[in-house]
Every structure is written in structure tokens, then in C-alpha cells.
Structure 1
Amino acid sequence: MTAKLPAPITLTGRHVRLEPLGRAHVPDLFAAGGGDEEVWRWIPTPVPRTVEEMAAVVDARLADTACEPFAVVDRASGRAIGVTCYFDASAEDELLEIGGTWYARAVWRTAVNTEAKLLLLTHAFEDLGMGRVVWKTDHLNERSQNAIQRLGASYEGTFRRSRRRPDGSWRDSVYFSMLREEWPVAKARLTERLHAGAAVPA
């Protein structure tokens, strides 16, 4: 059984705050990533080149009943610098997916991705009682694959010709997962990296 997560929640760390995505975040998000081809290269959405197009991207996330979207807010500036989501949560099967993630290029290779993932994983395993968290990404997106593996996730396999890209070409989707019993070791490693200032690149 697949269902939307029970309630939106705000997750707060030292560097970032993950809060329920809303229309109010659109101006910040457009400033963070609007029109940036590199930010959107591997996102299965056309590059938003106007504020209105960014609003449409946000509206699509909000309309997706299988998605719980978060705005990633930089605590120092108070501005939204990206988006990340939970997808396809199932309390019965104790699983969910983390995805739909993008950040402003200015925060790539900083603590932002490390802390955002630490917050999401902690909430998933320790508060929601999940037993399995999944990621999937384009087979050509080596940066994302490396970042997911550095979180402590394991490669599971590749679904061939699984999704059409905005340009009409087909991607293979590479799947990774982390299990509840693997979480304590991953959490300790991520926490140590964060405290040491060593980021897991986005």
C-alpha cells in the first residue's frame, strides 16, 4: 500500500532547515536555480526559465499525492536554496524513497547535502519507523551515484529504459537502498563528516 506521508513536518539542523514546500518559496527557488542548465541536467523536468515556470514546478510537486516535498532553507540567510522529497511512502512495507533533489550550484560540495540527507534519514528510520530507504538516479549521472554511495547506500541494480528524459531520450535508472540495520553505521559516519566539515557532495 502506497500513501502520502501522514503530515508535513519541519526538520531543523545546524546549516539547513527542511520545511514543507509552498508557493512562498518560488522567488527564492528561482533565484537559486532558475534557468541553470547544470542544476536541472538530470531532473526529469524542463529547465524553469521564468518565475512562472518555477511556480509550475512547485505546483506539480504539491499536486503529487505520492510526494512529500521539502524546501531546503539555508539557516544563515533564511532563503530557500533547493528542494528534496520523500516519495511513495508505505507504512505497511516500511519503505520510502528520497528523491527529486536539487540545490543551487553555490551550495554544491558544502555541508548542505550531508545535513539534509542526515535529517531525512533520521526522520525516516527513527521517527517514521521505515526499514528501507531507496534512491534512484539517471545512469549517466555519476555525480549523484557517487554521492548516494557516500551516504552509505548500496547499489541494487539498473532498470533499463525506465524513463523518458525531457529531451525525448531514454534513461536507465540506477537504484540504491539503505536498510534499518545499516543506518547506525551510516548515521555515525555522516555525523562525523558533518562535524568535521567534510561534506558529502551533492
Structure 2
Amino acid sequence: MTAPHKDDFGNPVGQPIDNWSGCEFPPRSDMVGNHVIVSPLDVARDAQQLFEANKTAGDGSRFTYLPTNAFDDFAAYKAWLDGMTANADPILHAIIDKATNRAVGVAAFMRIDAANGVVEVGNINYAPALSKTIGGTEAMYLMMKRAFDE
């Protein structure tokens, strides 16, 4: 076993990568699984379905760790989605249940630093129809596969 590479302070860090030149932003294309399609969010296509799916959650507690509260008003939710999808980062995705062809969740590639090969998956919000399902797990797998392998 080789000794770990250390920084100037003696802290163990990863091995240097020769000829690193950064990477590209994640592509804005569908990720298709057996149970879900993770698709770049299209406000016109997805907003109403997501709003309705989130209304089934009841008390809004699913929004506790998100940058906004639950929405009681569709126009406000749509305006928020319009703002979230207006920039290159985050790249918001709708998670579409293949069995129903309805959007039931959201997740984003965010805080993208292509020069250093960094991307975060966040802004995750699963409606009850997606929570604790194979499709919910598969959505995260598809996003990780894209982040690491594509």
C-alpha cells in the first residue's frame, strides 16, 4: 500500500491528477431508468403536476430543508420554478414516474464548478408518490451515474 499524498501542512489528500483540464457542465438531457425519467424541468410541462403532487404531502414538512416553504398558491409556485430554471446553475430536474407519466419529484445539479470537476445534487423534494420508492432511489442513481460516468 502506498503512503497517502499529503499537502503542505501534512494533511492526507487525494493523489494529484496529471493533465487535469476540468470537465463539462452536466448535459441537459433526459436520464431514463426502469421506473423514472429524470428530465430537465420544463415549467410549462411539469409545474402543475409537481404542485398537485406536493399538495398531497399535507403539512408542508417536506420543505423543511429546502430554500422555500411549501406553496399554497400555484401562481407563486410557478413563479418560483421560473426563477429557479432561468440560470445555468442550478439545473433543476423533474422526476417523472414512468407508470403514470406524472412529475412527482424534483432534484438539481447545483453549485457546479466544472473547472474543478465538482457538482452537487440538491434541492431534492419527493412528493409522497415518490418518497420511499424504487423510483426515488433510481432517480439518485441516475443523477450520480451522470455526475461520475458521463
The interval holding the TM-score normalised by the smaller chain is: 0.7 to 0.9
| 1:53, distance to aligned residue in structure 2 (A) | 1.7
**1:21 partnered with 2:41:** yes
Q: For residue 125 of structure 1, what is the amino acid of its counterpart?
A: F
For 1:123 and 1:43, locate their aligned partners in 2 and report how far apart those are by CA, in whole Å.
23
Considering Cα pairs closer than 8 Å and 6+ residues apart, tell me whether 1 or 2 has the greater RCO.
2
Task: Say if 2:68 is the partner of 1:32.
Answer: no
Q: Deviations over 1:143-184 (max 9, x none)?
A: xxxxxxxxxxxxxxxxxxxxxxxxxxxxxxxxxxxxxxxxxx
Runs of 4+ in 1 over 6 A off after TM superposition: none
TM, length-normalised to structure 2: 0.76
Task: Determine which structure has more spread, i.e. the larger CA radius of gyration.
Answer: 2
Counting only pairs closer than 5 Å after superposition, residues 97-112 of structure 1 correspond to structure 2 as 97-112=120-135
TM-score (normalizing by structure 1): 0.57
Q: Which residue of 2 aligns with 1:150?
A: none
Post-superposition shift, 1:102? Answer: 0.3
State the Cα distance separating 1:6 from its structure 2 match.
Answer: 5.7
After TM superposition, list the pairs within 5 Å mapping 1:110-121 onto structure 2: 110-121=133-144
Aligned to 2:31: 11
Task: Tell me how far 1:32 sits from its aligned partner.
Answer: 0.6
Partners of 1:8 and 1:106 lie apart in 2 by: 25
Tell me the distance in 2 between the aligned counterparts of 1:82 and 1:57: 15
Is 1:95 the counterpart of 2:118 in the alignment?
yes
| Number of corresponding residues | 125
Gaps of 5+ in 1: 128-202
Calculate the aligned-residue CA RMSD, in Å.
1.9
* Matched-pair contact (CA < 8 Å) for 1:29–1:54: no
TM-superposed CA distance for 1:69, in Å, is 0.9
Aligned AA (2:130): V
More strand by share: 1
Structure 2 gap ranges (5+): 1-23
1:11 is aligned with what amino acid?
M
* Identity among equivalent pairs (%): 29
Structure-2 separation of matches of 1:7 and 1:15: 21
Equivalent positions of 1:48-59 (< 5 A) are 48-59=71-82
Deviations 1:103-142 (A, max 9, x none): 1123221112210110001111111xxxxxxxxxxxxxxx
